[in-house]
Amino acid sequence: MKKLFYVLIILFLAMPLFSATISVKRYKPAELNLSPARTVAILPVELYPRKYTAEQEAIGKTFFSEIGRYIQDDDYFTLVDSESAEIGLRLVFEDFNVSDNGITISSKGDDGKEIVTKDEWERTVSSNMKFYVLNNKDKTVISQKDYKIFDLSSKTKKALLPKPEAVAFHQLKGFIVNAGMHVFNCVYYLPVALLDSKIKENKNSMKEAQKLAKKENYSDALNIYKDLYEKTSDFAAGFNYARMMQVLKDFDESEKLLLNLMSVNPKEKKVKQALDSLEKDKSEIETLKNRYN
């Protein structure tokens, strides 16, 4: 048992360890390819006219307020007025229903005052909505998304029932994300894991490179990792060198180095994970490049 323990300790010490994970700003391409259009407008919400129009307006306002954040984050699109926009976004309510269900029981006390013994209610909100992406010049439909709200409030006193728009908000958040990613290129932060060196003489330089990478000084970090790898063949330095090349979008050279490292240590899962990350990253950036360059 003691022998096995020592073997495990040796294997652990031999493994390269993740020393840090940096986050690199990237864009996830929209589901729709709206190129070459670069301007978008938010068109008036179409309400279900029979009832609850104020509640529909509140939901529409929230919906497009949040969609506006996606427009701001997308470097490729600019929000303009409806007269000059190439793309129009419209939300249409096909119906809107609110129903309250519950019970209130009261009785009169000895002093003649009414006493409420039970007051439990819940509110149900349902609606069918359509989200349109339009060619704003001729109003032809480019894309359509159907969203259905069906949500129930928690039980509470009748006087404290939440507003219909508050009941609907939980599901609405999911619709906003879906619509935003459908139309706009969304910012996300790519996690890039870095390894710690097992070579004592390299540790200080590796820490310095890590600090530079965290400050987004990727080129200087790359130069340190490259120098260490070329001088000492340090696996961790080579791995981090490849990751910095990925960050700087030198995908082909990054892939070559990672494949070389994999040939040295075929069982190293971290290299396989890095190759998977690189492939996805390269694909997304090439998609954006092909659409907008």
pLDDT digits (tens, 9 = 90+) for 47-83: 999 889 999 999 999 999 999 999 999 999 999 999 9
What integer best gives the mean pLDDT of the chain? 92
At 102, is the pLDDT very low, low, confident or very high (cuts 50, 70, 90)? Answer: very high
pLDDT of residue 1: 52
pLDDT of residue 38: 95
DSSP-derived pairing of the beta strands 87-93 and 39-42: parallel
Q: 272: which residues sit within 8 A by CB, 6+ positions away?
A: 262
pTM: 0.82
108 has pLDDT over 90: no
pLDDT of residue 116: 85
pLDDT of residue 9: 40
Token pair listed for 33: 């390819």
Residue bearing tokens 């229903």: 97
219-247 average pLDDT score:
98
CA distances from 21 to 81, 102, 214, 243, 292 (A): 42, 52, 9, 11, 30
5 has pLDDT over 50: no
At 18, is the pLDDT very low, low, confident or very high (cuts 50, 70, 90)? Answer: low
Do 185 and 28 contact (CB within 8 A), yes or no? yes
CATH 1.25.40.10 spans which residues of the chain?
A: 197-292
pLDDT of residue 17: 56
Length of the chain: 293
Token pair listed for 12: 């652990």
Cβ atoms within 10 A of the Cβ of 172, count? Answer: 20
pLDDT digits (tens, 9 = 90+) for 253-273: 999 999 999 999 898 899 999
Q: Please provide the CATH number assigned to the domain covering 197-292.
A: 1.25.40.10
* C-alpha to C-alpha distance for 52 and 35, rounded to whole angstroms: 38
* C-alpha to C-alpha distance for 203 and 19, rounded to whole angstroms: 11
pLDDT of residue 7: 39
pLDDT of residue 12: 42
pLDDT digits (tens, 9 = 90+) for 169-221: 989 999 999 999 999 999 999 999 999 999 999 999 999 999 999 999 999 99
16 has pLDDT over 80: no
CATH 3.40.50 spans which residues of the chain?
A: 39-187
* C-alpha to C-alpha distance for 111 and 119, rounded to whole angstroms: 21
Q: Which fold has domain 39-187?
A: Rossmann fold (3.40.50)
Residue bearing tokens 């020592």: 6
